[in-house]
Structure 1
Amino acid sequence: MEKFIEYSADIDDDLLLLLHCEKTSKGLFSKDFNLDTFGQDECSSLFRFANDDLHHLSSELHIPEKFVASNGTAVSGIEALCVMLKRLSYPNRLQELRDFYQRPVSEISYISNSLTDFLYDNYGHLLSELDRSWLSEDNLHEFANAIFNAGSPLTNCWGFIDGTVRPICRPFVNQREVFNGHKRVHSLKFQSIVTPNGLIANMFGPVEGRRHDAGMLRETGLLDTLRQKMTMADGTIYSLYGDPAYPIHPHLIGPFRGHRLSNEEQVFNTKMSSVRVSVELLFNKIVRNFAFVDFCKNQKLCLQPVGKYYVVAAMLSNCHTCLYGNQVAEMFELQPPNLREYLHG
């Protein structure tokens, strides 16, 4: 997995085409950035968070007031956050960001990638561990009730599990490994657990695009984790619901399989399918708010931390949900935790 997280250089590939521009432009940049010059709606459009919430987000993420990139470039923490968010929010070229921030393209690249590293190293565990305060037994019971009230025939289902295929640019090496025959694209895969309060509770990946969902599940060791954490002292078992690709397990339930299903089995599958749509809604939110990770032409292995971009985008999407809610939380009539509880609970 690490080979899809790490990358061979600290700079983006399009930077190599733009470095020559700096030879004539260095010294011409003001390097002054004042977030207060942007209105609330403008900040939401450019950075996906409103002006006041950007300061709140920076504080809760514990981004240093003086952030130093890996090449030694020093900027304010809020500017570093805005550089990275604007980079992720849309497939901008570095030259466009240079003009926006009045900084050389190399600094833009180093700042963005360095903060991505900072967030991944310090908060990646939020998507790799299930031992969180907002996943307490009381909350699991609340999740199960919300899913049941939304039409599920299950009374103990607390979330949904699924894999997602993220297309990438065709690499120069290992093309067979990352080619997904079902989607017919070169890709990386991630496995996620989503909860009815609108959050991605767990994410595993990236792995090669050709890997099967059941293979990812075995590699995660998730079933052992669920057995330990989702079996209560009174014997109550809380289960996930997945598609037919996953095996049946006390902590992982799937639809009835086969062509000759009874009416009751067909009704069960239909009802569970209607609530399981929340998985796709959360996947779509990530690429809608952070469209850079959906621009496969610029998702290039060995030149960029492709996997790390997506994991950080998913974590930031959860932060966005904590501040503004989302369609899934509204669908199940639940409130996500506040930002501090999510990041530090």
Structure 2
Amino acid sequence: MGPIRVHKKRKVDKKMEPSNIASGSSEEASADWFDALAKKIASNLNSSPSKGLDSFESMFNMSRKTFEYVCSLAREHMMVKTHCAFSNGKPMSLYDQVALALRRLSSGSSLITIGDSFGTHHSTVSQVTWRFVEAIERKGIQHIRWPSTENELMEIKSKFEQIRGLPNCCGAIDTTHIVMLLSTSEPRTDVWLDSKENHSMPLQAIVGPNMKFLDVFSGLPGMFSESSLIRYSSFYNKCQNGERLGKKERLSEEAELQEYIIGDSAYPLLPWLLTPYQGKELSQTKADFNKRLFATHIVAQRALARLKDVWKIINGVMWRPDKHKLPRIWTGGLQFS
């Protein structure tokens, strides 16, 4: 899978406003909706809402404002599909469906656990969650994109330089692995083994100084290391062809510096990808550069750590996931983490 395609931003019209995203139900759009949901879950779990589900943020890992925006993105796709209902036959509203999907993705709990807590069958949880993933992939992907204007790129460079003085830096690249438990009957499972002997799928990400995702690449087996993974990405091809990271900044009369991203020592040193100096006996200049690079590169590590914290379904071991669909599952977490 190449970097996720970017769609142009669409202006949100009145149909997308929070007051209209619950299928016209003023009860759903009010605070009463969440109170009723929290009580229902507590009742189904024979517990009290105070056990970690007493606030909007603790249940969905996002604010109510963000939740309403997510609903506006998902509305068109999710409300024209197959009818979904709770076990008692009551139809699910848009809010109900988005809440169920977000709870599944942000908690990482099983289909059965989520179904029991919401009062619906686990097959409904699976169906609603996948429709939500499709909706967010279609409507929200504009949140993951490379800067489209010179002003945007200049702002990124300026903020990176403010961290530890690296000029003309456009991004930080890092990779995390989504660990999977695969069936022993699957053919060629060995290709999914990574350097830690886990079956996994790597997710490569380039982030900005504010930990916003600028480019992602995934879909290949765990056997691919960072140095080989990057060469299969369209980002690599664009940089090699001069379509990206080609502008130079003059540092002095004698020196100029090309745009670049930074990575750790697992990545190859390229004209547009700077990595740390290797070796134990480094000069003071090289050691200082490494310190600057490490301090700046940490934004990529933090962004991926936050992604797994927000989208807990990919944190830990995923049980026999559909490897063709897996890269699409974390797109929502990339956008809202």
Q: CA deviation at 1:300?
A: 1.6
Q: Do structure 1's residue 230 and structure 2's residue 245 form an aligned pair?
A: yes
Q: CA deviation at 1:114?
A: 1.5
Deviating more after overlay: 221-230 vs 143-152: 221-230
Letter in 2 for 1:111: V
Q: Say whether the 8 Å CA contact 1:66–1:76 is kept in structure 2.
A: no
- The answer for unaligned runs of 5 or more in structure 1 is 3-32, 318-345
Instruction: Give the match for residue 154 of structure 2.
Output: 141
Instruction: Give the match for residue 45 of structure 2.
Output: none
Cα deviation 1:138-184 (Å, max 9, x = unaligned): 232222222222213x211121011212211134323211111x223
Q: Say whether the 8 Å CA contact 1:158–1:238 is kept in structure 2.
A: yes
Q: Say whether the 8 Å CA contact 1:126–1:202 is kept in structure 2.
A: no
Instruction: Give the match for residue 275 of structure 2.
Output: 254
CA distance in 2, matches of 1:148, 1:126: 23
Instruction: Give the match for residue 20 of structure 1.
Output: none
Q: CA deviation at 1:126?
A: 4.8
1:271 equivalent among 292, 303, 320: 292
Q: Say whether the 8 Å CA contact 2:226–2:266 is kept in structure 1.
A: yes
Q: Say whether the 8 Å CA contact 1:140–1:238 is kept in structure 2.
A: no
Instruction: Give the match for residue 335 of structure 2.
Output: 315
> Relative to 1, partners in 2 of residues 1:123 and 1:52: Cα closer, same or farther, differing over 3 Å?
closer
CA distance in 2, matches of 1:295, 1:256: 33
Q: CA deviation at 1:230?
A: 3.0
CA distance in 2, matches of 1:184, 1:65: 39
Aligned identity (percent) is 19
Cα deviation 1:60-93 (Å, max 9, x = unaligned): x252286244x55374332222111100111223
Instruction: Considering Cα pairs closer than 8 Å and 6+ residues apart, tell me whether 1 or 2 has the greater RCO.
Output: 1
Q: Say whether the 8 Å CA contact 1:223–1:251 is kept in structure 2.
A: no
Q: Do structure 1's residue 290 and structure 2's residue 320 form an aligned pair?
A: no
The TM-score normalised by the length of structure 1 is: 0.71
Q: CA deviation at 1:261?
A: 2.0
Cα deviation 1:93-139 (Å, max 9, x = unaligned): 32332233222222222111121122224444654x52x44xx3223
Name the structure where helix makes up a greater proportion of residues. Answer: 1
Letter in 1 for 2:245: M
Instruction: Give the match for residue 102 of structure 2.
Output: 85
CA distance in 2, matches of 1:52, 1:41: 17
Cα deviation 1:198-223 (Å, max 9, x = unaligned): 20111100210010112111111323
Instruction: Give the match for residue 172 of structure 2.
Output: 160
CA distance in 2, matches of 1:158, 1:233: 12
The TM-score normalised by the length of structure 2 is: 0.73
Instruction: Give the match for residue 231 of structure 2.
Output: 218
CA distance in 2, matches of 1:303, 1:190: 13
CA distance in 2, matches of 1:117, 1:105: 19
Q: Say whether the 8 Å CA contact 1:213–1:246 is kept in structure 2.
A: yes
Instruction: Give the match for residue 135 of structure 2.
Output: 118
CA distance in 1, matches of 2:142, 2:115: 32
Q: Say whether the 8 Å CA contact 2:175–2:202 is kept in structure 1.
A: yes
Between structure 1 and structure 2, the one with the greater Rg is 2
> Relative to 1, partners in 2 of residues 1:224 and 1:175: Cα closer, same or farther, differing over 3 Å?
closer
Q: Say whether the 8 Å CA contact 1:89–1:291 is kept in structure 2.
A: yes
Instruction: Give the match for residue 187 of structure 1.
Output: 200
Instruction: Give the match for residue 29 of structure 1.
Output: none
Secondary structure of the structure 2 residue equivalent to 1:228: coil
> Relative to 1, partners in 2 of residues 1:65 and 1:223: Cα closer, same or farther, differing over 3 Å?
closer
CA distance in 2, matches of 1:209, 1:255: 24
Cα deviation 1:218-251 (Å, max 9, x = unaligned): 1113234233133349897321011223233332
Letter in 2 for 1:240: I
> Relative to 1, partners in 2 of residues 1:177 and 1:107: Cα closer, same or farther, differing over 3 Å?
same
Q: CA deviation at 1:192?
A: 0.5
CA distance in 2, matches of 1:65, 1:124: 14
Secondary structure of the structure 1 residue equivalent to 2:181: coil
Letter in 2 for 1:157: C
CA distance in 1, matches of 2:270, 2:117: 52
Cα deviation 1:230-277 (Å, max 9, x = unaligned): 334989732101122323333211111234321211111122111211
CA RMSD in angstroms, aligned pairs only: 2.8
CA distance in 2, matches of 1:220, 1:125: 19
CA distance in 2, matches of 1:179, 1:149: 39
Deviation >6 Å, runs of 4+: 233-236
Paired positions, count? 278
Q: Do structure 1's residue 306 and structure 2's residue 306 form an aligned pair?
A: no
CA distance in 2, matches of 1:166, 1:96: 22
> Relative to 1, partners in 2 of residues 1:56 and 1:222: Cα closer, same or farther, differing over 3 Å?
closer
- The answer for unaligned runs of 5 or more in structure 2 is 3-26, 36-52, 85-90, 251-256
Secondary structure of the structure 1 residue equivalent to 2:220: strand
Secondary structure of the structure 2 residue equivalent to 1:229: coil
CA distance in 2, matches of 1:83, 1:163: 29
CA distance in 2, matches of 1:66, 1:113: 10
